Structure 1
């Protein structure tokens, strides 16, 4: 006797739930270990090494070719370079408890939602629906921008609003809109990390002169900040000023700790210079 379709669907999702539990098992084991407070830099290094090890496993298994592996490694190093160098402690007790709860709640919640609303026969959203969703997003962004225009320009509320709007626009792939929003935030109050975000975005899309101006201003306040120095060299390289880029990156490497996890990124950029 053939089981009903609903029963088959439930059995399939029970199987998926079991697979999800297996996938999350390493996290559960990690949460059972004694909590140890670590500094921000040590935590960043541990995360960096874990990500690199995972990339190596993917390459060894044949799921990543050399080009994709190299690009992913560079991205991991770039993200670490962008992270704050400030010290600090991570509080493990409460965070571990929350993660432990999520370890079981997330798969269960997903399964429960599917039982209530799931429909395996539902077709993919057609182009018209996706276009309508994009139009709604555009309308929302326009509305948010209009509201921000009503907020006092130099206020902290306006600055935070423009930053969030820029983040949203960048996530949608609208780099020009993101850049415009971040410029407004910097007009309210200039700060190095946001200047670096905008400069990197501009460098990626050819806005080299504006990026150089932003980086020069940020470096005047934080001359030893590694990300600002790296981006300064990147801008010089993209502008064809190879010797300037080489000098900038060599100086950065000379002053960097021997175990700085972003050293490989800067060294690779140096090797790529003509």
Structure 2
């Protein structure tokens, strides 16, 4: 089987699920991770030492809508590959923008206490630890399975993180203050499901995605409350938010904090909040 053979099969089998540009993106990602080939266009005519059974099984999962990152077990985020599975969200480019926002305000020599609330695969705290190596970084998640993956990622990427299993909505027991509180909590309303691709709805953890239509800011309100007791005097909160609820989320934080800055992502959507007193 050549690279071109794989490409042709992807185009034939996935055309009813994705447009051509998405299929090519999936193909290139698959080849890079499965076969460790960076530039697939240089190898189109070469025979590959590749298990056909593995490819057919992978293709069946792709046709079922399973994200390619889950099939190969890796997702690229910032400058690193992270393990992911059905218990963790696949890191998004929008979340990279949250990391960039934070990195612009701090330098690698600063001694900081940082916590990530709702960590999933651990991509946020691990990346923060890599770019701010002097920081002491903690991370919380309710999911035992997600924390297992996050711990594995931290070990493989040599990023010491203090992981804690905790329900964000329950009493917060940490007797500590933080210079940076980060959160990318569940924020998609049930009513927004109709806009989402089936591969997300069927294969990514709903626990990490959705909130009720009646109280969509429940986690942000909790983050705000935690910050009141656990933020240092000059500390900041950074959140990724629902693009449709930027004004509402900003207004909620303004009940607790003096300064709330709404940041747009590269597409011009309300995507991040920076909060402090």
TM-score interval (norm. to shorter): under 0.3
TM-score (norm 1): 0.27
- Compare CA radii of gyration and give the structure with the larger one: 1
Larger helix proportion of the pair: 1
Larger strand proportion of the pair: 2
